[in-house]
Structure 1
Amino acid sequence: MQTPKLRKKPKFRNKKVVLNGTTFDSKKEARRYRELQILERAGEISELQMQYAFVLAESVKFSNEPRRKPAVKYVADFVYRVGDKLIVEDVKSEATRKDKYFRLKKHLMMSVHGIEIAEV
């Protein structure tokens, strides 16, 4: 008899939401997407994209490792333009704002790409 697989609880207790066939990591993220869609239809923003990946460090091959290590990436929840300005947004709760990996990637986005992440 096989043991049933246990579902891992989300780290920050968020609940995934499906909106128009797209799965979002939280209700807050889905709500923000609806807001951005309205702004795009109104012509206030343009080129709205979801889950856009930025390379923060290229892949590398260490001499003592058999395979290359993958590139380090930051995946933004939303990227769009207001006029000529590129806006990169990440939907965060109070708990996820303090996450050490997010803080490091936020620092690297500014250092490598000169882009400040807007936390919503």
Structure 2
Amino acid sequence: MTERMSAQQYREAVAKPKRGNKFGAKRTVFDDITFDSKREAEVYRDLKVLERVGRISGFERQRKFELIVNGEIIGTYRADFAFIDHDQDGRFRVVDVKGVITRDFRRVRKIIKAAYNIDVEVWK
């Protein structure tokens, strides 16, 4: 006698297991927000504290920048965090939390510098 399986059981049996992040980052939920890594959630928590005590303002998550080359939009970049730092004379800061700086990120960083004259900081 042969065993039969349902279509659902077959799909589950042949389904590929979900791959994790290639850099080992673990998604983390904090304040009902899902972050790409535990470190990013920690930075968010710390920046929210600084905002509450008035050391930073204009705090934004996932700030969108258009990548412009020769007057043409070639894509977009979303920075992890952007804010005005009152400890550094009101300087506008853009921060990306990264464990590994990729070649693509280096390129995007140069385009942001050329288009907006903003240095994207990398916090590890």
Whether these two folds match at TM > 0.5 is yes
Report whether the alignment pairs 1:105 with 2:108: yes
Which one of the candidate residues 78, 87, 93 is aligned to 1:87?
93
Separation of aligned partners in 2, 1:54 and 1:11:
25
CA drift of 1:92 comes to 1.4
AA of the residue aligned to 1:88: V
**Between Structure 1 and Structure 2, which shows a larger proportion of helix residues?**
2
Cross-structure match for 1:114: 117
Structure 2 alignment gaps of length 5 or more = 1-9
- Larger Rg belongs to: 2
Structure 1 residues 73-118: Cα deviation after superposition (integer angstroms, max 9, x where no partner): 111000111244211000111xx22x01100001111011100011
Using the alignment, how far apart are the partners of 1:43 and 1:77 within structure 2? 20
Query: Runs of 5+ in structure 1 lacking a partner?
Result: 60-70
Tell me the CA shift for residue 8 of structure 1: 2.3
**1: CA distance between counterparts of 2:17 and 2:104?**
26
Q: Does 1:35 align with 2:46?
A: yes
Structure with bigger strand share is: 2
**TM-score, normalization by structure 1:** 0.82
> Which residue matches 1:12?
23
TM-score normalized by structure 2?
0.79
CA distance in 2 between counterparts of 1:20 and 1:73 reads 26
3-state SS, counterpart of residue 56 of structure 1: strand
Question: What percentage of residue pairs aligned between the two structures are identical?
Answer: 34
1:60-81 superposed Cα distances (whole Å, 9 cap, x missing partner):
xxxxxxxxxxx41111000111
